[in-house]
């Protein structure tokens, strides 16, 4: 009997196949309910007492070797010659969870697309800037409050270096490097020393626009922004310009759009005025052109700047700025 089992062990050891059917036959022969191993275990009770121990021992060896062989051969089949695991096309696939774009990216891309259609190029500048590009070249007076520590993050070791507070600094970079006609927008991150709340954050995003050529007028600015507003918020959108002040534009204005939520009738988002402020703009101040080596007699231009967070809030009805930065997927998946 023992000899018979040893013979079976040799048979198991010698067996090899790369064929699924053959391996399955082997498994059935040795390991199924009606297979050799089960039969032999059933024999166990008939084995004389003094031989039981040895019988049990070799039988277990046979069982283990048969199981190992089946597993080994099956695994071999799953790997092809290059050692790579073969794909079993009958298995259900893994579901790939697709990410979604961040709402700020969606709106930034839409803004870029609209201005690109009008022939604007995209330009970028550094987030860590110097005083000249953020303030001085943009006609900010020495004592302008924006230069205050309370508004601007300065680098302690060198107060001439700071985190840009607006993307208007890219205007300066562009004027330094290009000759008119200039038609460009500059999307980017900006930084201000603000306490974080639902309505303010120390990091946010802006898109700056700059158009310089001969004979550029305020009418060009207005028409460009009207087109932009209609493209972004819908054909029925109206705009209105209110006089304002920025050091780098003269005259300056703030632009409102008719409330995209109530259509101008008045609601709690537009505070029952029917209008929402979305950007600052104006005609580039001749001082700014001259500071940047552009002849202010020959050329005129307009500029505008808008906050992407604010526009995204208005477009999607987001009420809390902090949501943009928390990156909670339950929020992000909704766009």
Strand order in the sheet with 128-130: 128-130, 158-163, 154-155
Q: Which is nearer to ligand DAH, 125 or 282 (CB)?
A: 282
Q: In which residue are the tokens 């696939």 written?
A: 93
- Tell me which stretch binds ligand DAH (CB under 6 A): 7-15, 80-88, 261-269, 299-307: 299-307
Of 292, 304, 295, 294, give the one whose Cα is nearest residue 139: 292
Asked if 274 and 256 count as a contact pair (C-beta separation under 8 A), the reply is no
Report if residue 123 touches ligand DAH, rule: CB under 6 A: no
The CB-of-192 to ligand DAH minimum distance in angstroms stands at 9
Which region, judged by CB under 6 A, interacts with ligand DAH, from 80-88, 225-233, 260-268, 297-305?
297-305
Query: What is the spatial distance between Cα 124 and Cα 122, in angstroms, rounded to a whole number?
Result: 7
| In the complex, minimum distance from the CB of residue 93 to ligand DAH, in angstroms, rounded to a whole number | 49
As a whole number of angstroms, the distance between CA 13 and CA 252 comes to: 90
Query: Quick one: which of 62, 278, 305, 308 contacts ligand DAH (CB under 6 A)?
Result: 305
**Which H, E and C letters describe 167-216, residue by residue?**
CHHHHHHHHHHCCCCEEEEEEEEEECCCCCCCCCCCEEEEEEEEEEECCC
304 binds ligand DAH, rule: CB under 6 A: yes
Least CB distance to ligand DAH at residue 231 (A) = 19
Task: Give min distance, CB of 243 to ligand DAH, in A.
Answer: 12
Burial class (CB in 10 A: 0-12, 13-18, 19+), 68: exposed
Per CB under 6 A, contacts with ligand DAH among 163-182 are 166, 168
Q: Which helix (H) or strand (E) holds 280?
A: strand 275-284
Contact 206, 141 (CB under 8 A): no
Whether omega for the bond prior to residue 251 falls within 30 degrees of 0, making it cis, is yes
- Chain position whose Cβ is nearest to ligand DAH: 305
Q: Which range, of 31-39, 155-163, 280-288, 289-297, touches ligand DAH by CB under 6 A?
A: 280-288
Q: Which is nearer to ligand DAH, 30 or 140 (CB)?
A: 140
Q: Which segment (45-53, 194-202, 255-263, 279-287) binds ligand DAH by CB under 6 A?
A: 279-287
By CB under 6 A, is residue 188 in contact with ligand DAH? no
What's the CA gap between 319 and 326, in Å, rounded?
Answer: 14
The least CB distance from residue 120 to ligand DAH, in Å, is 13
CB of 213 to ligand DAH, least distance (A): 16
Q: Which of residues 198-257 bind ligand DAH (CB under 6 A)?
A: 208, 246, 249
Among 281, 311, 314, 318, binds ligand DAH (CB under 6 A): 281
Footprint of ligand DAH (CB under 6 A):
166, 168, 208, 246, 249, 280-282, 303-305
């Amino acid at each position: 009997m023992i000899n018979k089992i040893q013979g079976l062990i040799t048979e198991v050891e010698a067996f090899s196949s790369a064929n699924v059917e053959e391996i399955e036959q082997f498994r059935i022969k040795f390991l199924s309910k009606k297979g050799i191993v089960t039969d032999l275990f059933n024999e166990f009770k008939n084995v004389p007492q003094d031989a039981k121990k040895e019988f049990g021992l070799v039988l277990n060896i046979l069982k283990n070797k048969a199981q190992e062989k089946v597993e080994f051969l099956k695994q071999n089949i799953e790997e092809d010659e290059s050692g790579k695991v073969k794909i079993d096309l009958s298995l259900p696939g893994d579901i790939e969870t697709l990410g979604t774009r961040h709402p700020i990216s969606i709106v930034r891309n839409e803004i870029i697309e609209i201005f690109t259609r009008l022939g604007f190029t995209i330009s970028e500048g550094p987030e860590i800037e110097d005083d000249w590009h953020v303030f001085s070249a943009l006609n900010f007076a020495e004592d302008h409050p924006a230069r205050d520590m309370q508004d601007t993050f300065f680098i302690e070791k060198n107060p001439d270096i700071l985190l840009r507070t607006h993307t208007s600094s890219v205007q300066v970079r562009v004027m330094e490097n290009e000759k008119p006609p200039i038609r460009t927008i500059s999307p980017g991150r900006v930084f201000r020393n603000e306490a974080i709340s639902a309505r303010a954050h120390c990091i946010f995003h802006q898109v700056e626009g700059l158009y310089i050529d001969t004979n550029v007028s305020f009418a060009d600015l207005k028409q460009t922004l009207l087109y932009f507003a209609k493209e972004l918020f819908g054909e029925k959108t109206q705009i209105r310009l209110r006089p304002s002040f920025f050091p780098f534009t003269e005259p300056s204005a703030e632009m409102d759009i008719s409330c995209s939520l109530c259509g101008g009738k008045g609601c709690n988002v537009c505070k029952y005025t029917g209008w929402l402020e979305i950007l600052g703009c104006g005609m580039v101040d001749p001082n700014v052109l001259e500071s940047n080596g552009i002849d202010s007699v020959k050329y005129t231009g307009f500029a505008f700047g808008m906050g992407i967070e604010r526009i995204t809030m208005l477009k999607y009805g987001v009420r809390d700025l902090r949501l943009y930065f928390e990156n909670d997927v339950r929020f992000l998946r909704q766009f």
